[in-house]
Structure 1
Amino acid sequence: MSTPQIRPDRSTQKLGFGKWLARVGWRHLVAIVAVVFAAFPLVYVLSASLNPHGTLTGSNTLFTTFSLENYQRLLSDPIRPYGRWYANTLFIAGTTAVVTVLLGAMAAYAFSRLRFKGRRPGLMSLLLIQMFPQLLMVVAIFLLLSALGDVIPALGIGSSIALILVYLGGALGTNTYLMYGFFNTVPMALDEAAKVDGAGHARIFFTIILRLVAPILAVVGLLSFVATFNEYVVASVVLGNDPNHNTLAIGLYQYVSSEFNTYWQVFAAGAVLAALPVLVLFLWLQKYIVSGLTVGAVK
């Protein structure tokens, strides 16, 4: 008997440079261009933060000077309390993210599992409200909080609690609808089995459903944290002019808002430090991001 000849797999054969570039190489080139395009601003800001000179033009050559002078000036400025801004921003963004996840998950569970009058109009209302940008409501928010502050000072202009409530009102609609699609992927049989064992809706929600929808909770928490951490317009209107109540976005703007006294290097140092919480949170929740964004959308 003759031994059958094994044909070499074409995919394992070495390709010439032209064929490799046409089949696979162009993808690598596109990826390299995308990485350079995305990473260059970050590298430039990091280089500028380590440059003690007073203008950004002196930072065109990357990493020619290494100095922590800008960070020292940033953290020791008596007029601009960067540490206080950092704490305020972490408190506002963290509280908003946690409460958004909790309330949004409760609302999504109700829309997904319960059948009540007005359910479908409620879903459509949440979707339609998000068509209007939050900037349209800035004047109304200011007038509302100004009048509310006369009755309840803790909810007036200059209050971090008031800003958190404003952020919650703007974020719950989109996040609820996003989580609603993910909740629909969880089989109803789990709820029915738990009800047979005597569990109510609260126990089912907190002990079963929340564990199964952890990816979308992580995604919503991350998006909410990043959005409120970097937000400027609404925060500048609600928090007022007190420097002790400022967030990082408002405070860092003071370093570049003046026409004559601009401190771009100090601003770059503040921006580098401000990116650390978002970077750490993103890396921590990275394994949930892809599944959290795609499963509900496919459903």
Structure 2
Amino acid sequence: MTTQSTIVPITPAQAVAAEPAPLPRRPFGRWFRETGWRHLIGIVMLVFAAFPLVYVLSASLNPGGTLLTANGLFQNFDLGSYIDLFADPTRPYGDWFVNTIVIGVCSSVGTVILCALAAYAFSRMRFTGRRFGLLTLLLVQMFPQLLAFVAIFLLMSAIGDIFPVLGLNSQIGLIMIYLGGALGVNTFLMYGFFNTVPASIDEAAKIDGAGHARIFFTIILRLVAPILAVIGLLAFISTTSDFVIASVVLVDPDKQTLAVGLYQFVSQETARNWSVFAAGAVLAAILPMALFLSLQRYIVGGLTAGAVK
């Protein structure tokens, strides 16, 4: 014998009465002491970080040409400065932009490949001088590359007498300098991330007959994609924003990068045009910003995962 259960309908008044009562609102003083001060600090830091960007954008739209006329934000709106960037044949902004992209991409790709190979060797192989090599890479980075620009100039000048393609005024030579300066700290950062990948994966692949090259290119690189994206992004930003080394190596205007070329708009006392300079800076920031936003999901994981060992 079966019994049938009946469903008693609930009226809207009963449904409202059954809902939990809302929590009492905290007093403003207590809210500010617990969480409000964090919002205040965040707003202050946001304004502090965004004001230079807004000011440069406003100056690029101001046809005055001086920083004094750009004090009023967005009082004028004129795209003439952006047109003037590409109208002066003595200042080839288009060539600077292309040169910057080529040098930045080649340097970042080369840095990722070389650092990944070195980090894999330090992480998976045991050889004499391994620990000493890691410490040496870390200690060398304590001395910035900027301190050696005189030695770099003399070295590039001597190399240019034998191999002109690698000497002064050579973009390939500049890329080689960037690759040499980026290996230290980036290799150490990748080494920490490679250590988070279990060695049992390598051992299982070796049982199946895979060698180090196949393990590295088909297995390990896919597992360490976040740190590869981080190193590539950092290398691209550092090379595209470099001024000192690029100004020493590159001489011809058609071979210079954006950082060096844009300086010509404000270097001459009688021909300074800050509006055109700001317009060039705005366009130059678009590519790094787009690259940063596209790789943002890898940055936090790539930087933190390698810090556990």
Establish whether TM, by shorter chain, passes 0.5. Answer: yes
The residue aligned with 1:161 is 172
Unaligned runs of 5+ in 1: 1-7
Q: Which residue of 1 aligns with 2:87?
A: 76
- Asked whether 1:127 is paired with 2:148, we answer no
After TM superposition, give the deviation of residue 298 of structure 1 in Å: 2.1
What amino acid does structure 2 have at the position aligned with 1:276?
A: I
Matched residue count: 291
Counterpart mapping for 1:138-287 below 5 A: 138-240=149-251, 242-287=252-297
- Structure 2 gaps, min length 5: 1-19
Query: Runs (4+) of structure 1 moved beyond 2 Å?
Result: none
Secondary structure of 1:256's partner? helix
CA pair 182-9 structure 1, distance change in 2 beyond 3 A: farther
Shift of 1:9: 9.4
Output the CA distance in 2 between the equivalents of 1:298 and 1:144: 39
Q: 1:116: which partner in 2? A: 127
Deviations 1:88-114 (A, max 9, x none): 011101100000000100000000000
Instruction: Give the Cα separation in 2 of the matches to 1:30 and 1:50.
Output: 31
**Alignment partner, residue 5 of structure 1:** none
Determine what percentage of the aligned residue pairs are the same residue: 66
- Listed one character per residue, the Cα deviations across residues 136-194 of structure 1 (whole Å, up to 9, x for unaligned) are 21111111111111111100100000000000010011100000000000000000000
- Give the secondary structure class of the aligned counterpart of 1:13: coil
Which AA in structure 1 matches 2:240? F
Match of 2:118 among 107, 119, 123: 107
After superposition, the CA RMSD in angstroms is: 1.3
Report SS of the residue matched to 1:235. helix
| Structure 2 residue 152 is the aligned partner of structure 1 residue 136 | no
Q: Quick one: structure 1 residues 39 and 117, their matched pair in 2 at CA, closer, same or farther if it must change by over 3 Å?
A: same
Distance 1:279 1:54 in 2: 26
How far apart are the structure 2 equivalents of 1:99 and 1:117? 26
Taking structure 2 as the reference length, the TM-score comes to: 0.92
SS in 2 for 1:135: helix
Q: Which amino acid aligns with 1:187?
A: P
Amino acid of the residue matched to residue 150 of structure 1?
D
Q: CA deviation at 1:129?
A: 0.7
- How far apart in 1 are the matches of 2:85 and 2:268? 17
Residue matched to 1:291: 301
